[in-house]
Amino acid sequence: MLTERFLCNRRRRELSKEELEVVEGAIAEVRTIPPRSQVVTAGKPIHASTLLVEGLMCRYMDDRAGNRQIVAIHIPGDFVDLHGFPLKHLDHDVATITSCKVACVPHENLETIIGTHPHLSRQLWFSTLMDAAMHREWTFRLGRLDANQRIAHLFCELYCRMNAVGLAKDGSFSLAITQQDVGETCGITSVHVNRALRNLRNDGLVTFRSKKVVIPDRAKLAKLADFEPNYLFFDPDFEALS
Amino acid sequence: MLTERFLCNRRRRELSKEELEVVEGAIAEVRTIPPRSQVVTAGKPIHASTLLVEGLMCRYMDDRAGNRQIVAIHIPGDFVDLHGFPLKHLDHDVATITSCKVACVPHENLETIIGTHPHLSRQLWFSTLMDAAMHREWTFRLGRLDANQRIAHLFCELYCRMNAVGLAKDGSFSLAITQQDVGETCGITSVHVNRALRNLRNDGLVTFRSKKVVIPDRAKLAKLADFEPNYLFFDPDFEALS
DNA sequence: CGACCGTTTGATTTAGCTCAACATCTGTGG
DNA sequence: CCACAGATGTTGAGCTAAATCAAACGGTCG
């Protein structure tokens, strides 16, 4: 089921099976998109939103010199550009990182849902607010943490989110991004990412090698990164999930 | 009228007079809050949202060492914590900067609006998405700009937003915050804010003195700051407003 | 008038950037 | 299966923006 990960993504008890089927039914098309390809361009009108089923996507903005700042990383189960539905166009670009399987939900179908399923539409609103909460945390990350901490914080967040959709366990998950991507996310150069990763590795906090993140001691990493997962609004017992 | 600035705040044509009166009618109480006082605490349940009528407020998160990162600055007309309505509690703290006049809208009243005014409730959703768009831009600011540019970018954004609610014109507006606040917003120390402000002043780009921002040449400042106001989703002709 | 908060300036240190070289990995075609 | 090319990762040396520490200055309000 395409929406399976969307279900367990957040606050799992909040969506009924029937509502999930409504979302599933709103999907018009399932596509596979090659890695590193732009999907949405800032400013251009959009008429469908993208539910990510498999792979990694990101949202980003470039400065005038062409340097990229990634403002969101999306994992399976995320509604990548749901906010484009009320906004009609986006203020940023969207691209795939890896090869991706996506489900396209036309805005006219969302329109119908809004009219007929008040609770579900509330959940869609909620979903966009979760993104905003992550944006805030990213602001905190960039404003207050040093390079080591930023990377640690990013890995902590991704671990929690991956874990919530069944893609991480025992302190380890697969993450097919480059050190350059990490740099563009954390506002540091790829050279310095490399050095920071070495620090973290030498301190036994986290390794990131061959597209795999391993966190031997999550509590220790979270402490270094000043990471408090409350902003992800998971179930209170999310900690219990390993 | 308390909601006057909320109306003209964004995409002014999107709210009808009748809808505005519905919002106005949902206000339960108008309060004046002293400067520098905390209004909402992260994690605590909230039962009303705050429409800022006069003054400046901010949303922030502290790291373990107590250093503050401001993640949003709110001006009159902003719905400060509307996202707290679907979320039920916030992931950050909210405080006043100056003395503030606020209108409190109980969530039960919002609940009623959602049920009875679909277009208006869409506009409320839209309003929270505008906040998210600003969060993204702040991520960009912190990730890609140096100290001078960050401050310039912040002033550009605030000018546009202040202008949209009639609180800025001819390149100048009143801004009752300290250099410390600017630092906590831009992720730099207050000492360095001071030096960066001197740079900007010496270059004739912007002055910030006695709680007043003066921008002699907005285009020049915007260029330095890589500032593109599209993310604010104002009317296409917002540039025309002086 | 003095106390306090915010601003300004100087001296020193440091985290991260830049530039440059080299190593390793991955996918591709011969 | 190997050779190669391009992308990604690693390391070093030197430089720069910003932090830190410290002190003095200037409004403003009891």
Same domain, A182 and A124: no
Contact between chains at B61 and A140 (C-beta distance less than 8 A):
yes
- Residues in chain A with CB shorter than 8 Å from the CB of B138 are 135, 139
Residue B217 sits at the chain A interface (C-beta within 8 Å)? no
Tell me which of A87, A114, A137 is where a domain ends.
A137
Nearest Cα to Cα of residue B205 among B216, B219, B192: B216
Whether B132 maps to a domain, the answer reads: no
Q: Which 3 state secondary structure label does DSSP give B95?
A: strand
How many C-beta atoms lie closer than 10 Å to residue A26's C-beta?
A: 22
| Same-domain check for residues B232 and B151 | yes
Q: Do residues A151 and A182 lie in contact, with contact meaning Cβ atoms separated by under 8 Å?
A: yes
Which tens digits make up the pLDDT trace of A56-83?
Answer: 999 999 999 999 999 999 999 999 999 9
Cα angle A52-A55-A61, degrees, rounded to a multiple of 5: 75
Residues B14 and B44 grouped into a single domain: yes
Q: Give dist(CA B125, CA B147) in Å, integer.
A: 33
- Same domain flag for A122 and A8: yes
In a domain, B23, yes or no: yes
A224 touches strand C (CB under 7 A): no
Contacts of A81 (CB under 8 A, 6+ apart): A40, A46, A49, A50, A59, A90, A94
Q: Does A116 touch chain B (CB under 8 A)?
A: no
Q: Chain A contact for B138, CB < 8 A?
A: yes
CA-to-C1' span, B202 to C12 (A): 25
| pLDDT mean over A212-233 | 95
For B50, B58, B72, the CA distances from B68, given in Å and listed in that order, are 22, 11, 12
Residue B140 at interface with chain A, using a CB cutoff of 8 Å: yes
Residues of chain B contacting residue A183, judged by C-beta atoms under 8 Å apart: none
Asked if A63 and B231 come within 8 Å (Cβ–Cβ), the reply is no
Instruction: Please state, in angstroms and rounded to a whole number, the distance separating the CA atoms of residues B177 and B15.
Output: 31
Domain end position, chosen among A137, A163, A198:
A137
Per-residue pLDDT in tens (0 to 9) along chain B, 242 residues: 777 777 655 555 578 888 989 999 999 999 999 999 999 999 999 999 999 999 999 999 999 999 999 999 999 999 999 999 999 999 999 999 999 999 999 999 999 999 999 999 999 999 999 999 999 999 999 999 999 999 999 999 999 999 988 999 999 999 999 999 999 999 999 999 999 999 999 999 999 999 999 999 999 999 999 999 999 988 654 454 44
Specify whether A77 is located in the same domain as A133. Answer: yes
Distance CA A30, CA B229 (A): 34
Q: Which of B42, B67, B143 sits opposite A69 (nearest CB)?
A: B143
Q: What CA–CA distances, in Å, run from A169 to A1, A103, B186, B199? A: 22, 26, 36, 50
Q: Please judge whether A125 and B128 are an interchain contact, meaning their C-beta atoms are less than 8 angstroms apart.
A: yes
- B175 to chain A nearest CA, in Å? 22
**Nearest CB neighbour to A139, from listed B118, B133, B135:** B135
A129 Cβ under 8 Å from any chain B Cβ: yes
CB-hemisphere CA count at 13 Å for A64? 9
Q: Looking at the structure, do residues A13 and A91 belong to the same domain, yes or no?
A: yes
B112 and B220 share a domain? no
Closest-approach residue (CA) in chain B for A149:
B63
Residue A12 lies inside a defined structural domain of this protein: yes
Quote the pLDDT of residue B234: 80
Q: Which of these three, B67, B95, B126, is where a domain ends?
A: B126
Q: Left (φ > 0), alpha (ψ -120 to 50) or beta: where does A11 sit?
A: left
Q: Phi then psi for A169, rounded to 5 degrees?
A: -160, 160
Nearest CA in chain B to A139: B139
Q: How far is CA B210 from CA A13, A176, B173, B179, B206, in A?
A: 52, 51, 11, 11, 13
**Min Cα separation A182/chain B (Å):** 12
Give residue A194's pLDDT: 98
Residue B111 included in any domain: yes
Interatomic CA distance for residues B231 and A147, integer angstroms? 28
Question: How many Å apart are CA A174 and CA A169, to the nearest integer?
Answer: 10
In a domain? residue B225? yes
Nearest to A142 among B91, B187, B233 (CB): B187
* Nearest residue to D16 via alpha carbon and C1': B146
Read off the pLDDT of residues B186-205 as tens digits, 9 standing for 90 and up. 999 999 999 999 999 999 99
State how many domains chain B has: 2
- Structural domain includes residue B68: yes
Q: What is the pLDDT of residue B238?
A: 46
> Do B72 and A136 lie within an 8 Å CB cutoff?
yes
Within this chain, do residues A130 and A157 fall inside the same structural domain, yes or no?
no
Whichever domain contains A30, its CATH number is 2.60.120.10
Angle between helices B190-202 and B147-164 (to 10 degrees): 80
Give the model's pLDDT for residue B13.
59
pLDDT computed for residue B12 by the predictor? 55
Assigned domain for A152 exists: yes
Are A166 and B87 a contacting pair, CB within 8 Å?
no
The answer for residues whose C-beta is within 8 angstroms of residue B173's C-beta and 6 or more apart is B158, B159, B162, B163, B167, B212, B213
Residues B101 and B192 in one domain: no
Residue of A nearest to B185 (CA): A143
Q: Which residue range(s) make up the domain with A109?
A: 4-137
Taking alpha carbons only, the member of B109, B78, B87, B108 closest to residue B43 is B87
- Asked if residue B131 is part of any domain, the answer here is no
Rounded CA separation B215/B200 (Å): 10
| A:92-111 residues touching chain B, CB 8 A cutoff | 92
Identify whether residues B98 and B146 lie together within a single domain. no
Indicate if A151 and A131 belong to the same structural domain. Answer: no
Is the pLDDT confidence value at A235 over 80?
no
Q: Residue A24: is its pLDDT beyond 70?
A: yes
Question: Given its phi and psi angles, is residue A84 left (phi above 0), alpha (psi -120 to 50 degrees) or beta?
Answer: alpha
Q: Do residues A195 and A219 share a domain?
A: yes
Residues of B whose CB is below 8 A from A92: 136, 231
Which pLDDT value is given to residue A34? Answer: 95
Interface test with B, best of A13, A124, A136 (most B CBs within 10 A): A136
Give the pLDDT score at B226: 96
CATH assignment of the domain containing B214:
1.10.10.10
Task: Using alpha carbons only, give the angle B132, B46, A120 rounded to the nearest 5 degrees.
Answer: 60
Give the pLDDT of residue B16.
85
